[in-house]
């Protein structure tokens, strides 16, 4: 079962502070060796129950469902919080498995103008909504059959840079070992109706000791590819595969620079 939401938020707050302070000091670009020598798997986006790539496949999946919603009105703005849960089990050819339980949280803040008073004064029905700050976070636990006493925590969150542009960063940690997750863009030119528009597919890099262990790339047609560093320990590789699979089931799997 999922831990109480309050406990999850406390864990997220503590670990994300550590993650982001580290990530801001390590602007790591993917090494060519990962793309040249890595094990690479491609698959098209499908329902989680049908996910299959390389030696891995998903079983016993329970898709996204809304676990709770809440609304709050403050002095200068209103806020909606939506929480979605999902779970699945990822197995490999050796029948080792990773059980994933996940929670995706989206916070939307907005300001409403017009409404009843304007209607009373003018007779015109009018309500305008001005979007303010929006943010999302993702928390998941991963436990494998190889070591059921150890829980890996996957945490991701949007953070703004100095220009106000949001980037997604996070970590995958068991309390002793920590792998940092960075969103890295890839430049790409797409022709749309004879106009050249520069776009970038989304890519998440899993980094430990300044070396890339794996990467997840999602293109504009939602075709997805995963890379693994050669000769990874099988259980760690399974954990990384489970983490990347879970990201594809969240809004973070549909974000582009």
Give the per-residue pLDDT at 113. 66
Ordered DSSP codes for 6-64: HHHHHHHHHHHHHHHHHHTT--PPPPHHHHHHSEEEEE----GGG-EETTEEEEEEEEE
Per-residue pLDDT tens digits for 145-193:
999 999 999 999 987 666 667 778 899 999 999 999 998 765 455 555 5
Cβ of 150: how many Cβ atoms within 10 Å?
15
Sign of the dihedral defined by the CA atoms of residues 237, 242, 245, 251, in that order: negative
| C-alpha to C-alpha distances, 60 to 45, 91, 147, 158, 242, nearest whole angstrom | 18, 10, 20, 29, 14
Give the per-residue pLDDT at 233. 96
Three-class secondary structure of residue 2 per DSSP: coil
Confidence band for 55, pLDDT divided at 50, 70 and 90: very high
Which position has the higher pLDDT, 51 or 21? 51
The CA distance from 230 to 26, in Å, is 23
Residues constituting the chain: 257
CA 7 to chain centre: 20
Return the minimum-mean-pLDDT range out of 41-55, 79-93, 121-135, 168-182. Answer: 121-135
Measure the CA angle with vertex 35, ends 34 and 38; round to 5°: 60
pLDDT more than 90, % of the chain:
38
Per-residue pLDDT tens digits for 225-236:
899 999 999 999
Give the per-residue pLDDT at 109. 80
Give the per-residue pLDDT at 184. 79
Residue 32 confidence (pLDDT) above 90? no
Residue 73 confidence (pLDDT) above 70? yes
| Those residues with Cβ within 8 angstroms of residue 50's Cβ, 6 or more apart along the chain or in another chain | 58
Q: What is the mean pLDDT of residues 112-125?
A: 56
Per-residue pLDDT tens digits for 234-257:
999 999 999 999 999 998 887 654
Q: Which of 106, 87, 54, 61 is nearest to 238 (CA)?
A: 54
Look-up: residue for tokens 């089990």? 89
Average pLDDT, the chain: 77
Ordered DSSP codes for 112-134: EEESHHHHHHHS---EEEEEEEE
pTM of this structure: 0.76
Which position has the higher pLDDT, 239 or 3? 239
Q: What is the mean pLDDT of residues 123-130?
A: 58
Confidence band for 78, pLDDT divided at 50, 70 and 90: confident
Give the per-residue pLDDT at 111. 80
| Those residues with Cβ within 8 angstroms of residue 170's Cβ, 6 or more apart along the chain or in another chain | 16, 19, 138, 154, 155, 156, 157, 180, 181
Three-class secondary structure of residue 144 per DSSP: strand
Give the per-residue pLDDT at 191. 54
């Amino acid at each position: 079962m999922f831990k109480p939401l309050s406990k999850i938020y406390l864990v997220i707050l503590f670990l994300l502070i550590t993650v982001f302070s580290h990530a801001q000091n390590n602007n790591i670009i993917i090494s060519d060796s990962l793309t040249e020598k890595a094990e690479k798997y491609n698959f098209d986006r499908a329902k989680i129950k049908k996910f299959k790539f390389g030696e891995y496949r998903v079983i016993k999946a329970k898709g996204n469902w809304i676990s709770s919603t809440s609304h709050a009105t403050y002095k200068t703005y209103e806020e909606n919080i939506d929480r979605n849960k999902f779970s699945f089990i990822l197995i490999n050819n050796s029948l080792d498995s990773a059980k994933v339980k996940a929670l995706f949280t989206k916070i939307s803040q907005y300001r409403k103008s017009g409404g009843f008073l304007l209607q009373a004064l003018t007779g015109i029905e009018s309500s305008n909504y001005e979007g303010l700050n929006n943010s999302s976070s993702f928390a998941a636990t991963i436990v494998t059959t190889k070591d059921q006493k150890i829980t890996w925590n996957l945490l991701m969150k949007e953070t703004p840079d100095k220009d106000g542009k949001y980037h997604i960063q996070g970590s995958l940690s068991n309390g002793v070992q920590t792998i940092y997750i960075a969103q890295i863009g890839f430049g790409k030119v797409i022709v749309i109706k004879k106009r050249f528009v520069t776009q970038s597919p989304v890519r998440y890099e899993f980094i430990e000791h300044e070396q890339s262990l794996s990467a997840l790339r999602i293109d504009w047609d939602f075709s997805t590819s995963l890379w693994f560093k050669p000769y990874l320990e099988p259980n760690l590789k399974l954990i990384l595969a489970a983490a990347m699979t879970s990201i594809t089931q969240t809004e973070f799997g549909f974000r582009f620079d």
